[in-house]
Chains A and B, each alone.
Chain A
Amino acid sequence: MSDVKGYRRPFWDTQPDYLYPHYRSTVKRSPSRPLVVLPQTLSEVTGPLFGYDDIGGKDDDLTRQHEGAPLGERIVVSGRVLDENGRPVPGALIEMWQANAAGRYRHVSDQHDAPLDPNFSGCGRLLTDDAGRYRFMTIKPGSYPWRNHSNAWRPAHLHFALFGLGLAQRLVTQMYFPGDPLLPYDPMYNCIPDDKARQRLISVFDWENTIPEFALAYRFDIVLRGRDSTPMGG
């Protein structure tokens, strides 16, 4: 039989709605009709899988992708990718991108009056290991202004995009830093209804993974949707 074990839908208040007017771009980019609930099929529980051919040698170390060292504070960002059942997700592709230490992205549309760093591209990717672990070396991104509202500033953040084992596990999120004074003002952070879910986007200072005389460390665990134990009915 072709009935599949589906992925559970996340608790509603852990996820933002499409429309969140405080984030202005959602006003014209959010569907106005309700989503059609799709009973998962093979199309949704399968998904693209990636291997080491898709990864370059320095993709997990954003400080070594150029001849010189980038400016900024070196940091280790590591954690585990688990599903909601607590099982590690091995072989998950994580793509990460970020602003440089001055708060500027290497993107033609980013016109913020802050310097580009010739030694920093701000993009990385890796595969989680057999225990679902990952580890990036990078520099701490700067905050930057955006035009969402008057005097709007984004807190420092890293963008994470993950492929799990199936399309239904695809996740894009952002990681923040503990104690950032901009968080309470950020519509992106505040769009999540549940306060605890929001706080889980803030990484934890990670003493164990600091490298003496070289780099501080932050821990960020990521949870993808978990599977039901029984197949979905026809």
Chain B
Amino acid sequence: MSLLATSSQTVGPYVAIGFARLNNDNLAPAGVTGERITVTGCIVDGDGEPMADAVVEIWQANAHGRYAHPEAVSETPLEPAFKGFGRIPTDASGRFRFTSIKPGRVPGAGAAMQAPHLNVLIFSRGLLKHLSTRMYFPDDPANTEDPILQRVPAERRQTLIARQGTGRHELEWNVVVQGAGETVFFDL
């Protein structure tokens, strides 16, 4: 039996009410191990205008590099308090902020390991399909051998890597949906 995937449609301007129940800007409640991080950023459109009606979703592995998912079979431990899912609506200035832990490395194809990264989806009015991207960590030595980063043209790679913020655990990562400095988006 072969069916065709249902067509994507925009979430529209009122997604906030539909998504509110599962909003979560703290992915790492007390007891979860790992290096605490706070990520802040802004989403802007092709005019540089903030996107105040967007929603950011995060999917990430725990500090041991294990996803809380049955398909992620490995020797590395699960942590019951860590689900790895975040959802943050942007505010009136198009900004988002969440706290989490830095994920460990997860397997790539073959024997390759991926550099620590957050998987990020973006939803908003004007997006007929959601956007998929990734956030990597500044100055992580694994970035140079990450198989996905290596597929991205070198001059655009920095759009996927957060900048160190003022505090040691503060990261800044902006998303440019269109135009100069456009963030790399993936076709999954």
Contact = CB atoms under 8 A, between A and B. Distances in A.
Are A and B associated in one complex?
yes
Interface of A: 1-4, 7, 9-11, 14-18, 20, 23, 25-33, 35-50, 54, 56, 59, 82-86, 95-97, 105-107, 109-110, 121-123, 125, 159, 161, 165-168, 170-174, 188, 191-192, 197-198, 200-201, 222-226, 232-234
A23 B128 contact: yes
B179 interface: yes
Contacts of B7: 14-16, 173, 192, 197-198, 200-201
Contact of A105 (B17, B20, B108): B17
B17 A107 contact: yes
B138 interface: no
B20 A16 contact: no
25 contacts: A14-B7, A18-B128, A29-B125, A30-B128, A31-B178, A33-B184, A35-B186, A36-B152, A36-B185, A36-B186, A38-B186, A38-B187, A41-B114, A44-B188, A46-B67, A48-B68, A86-B1, A86-B2, A95-B18, A105-B14, A110-B13, A172-B9, A223-B4, A232-B109, A234-B112
A45 B130 contact: no
B129 A173 contact: no
B14 A107 contact: yes
Interface of B: 1-22, 45-47, 49, 51, 53, 59, 61, 67-69, 71-72, 83-85, 106-112, 114, 117, 119, 121, 123-132, 134, 147-148, 151-152, 156, 177-179, 182, 184-188
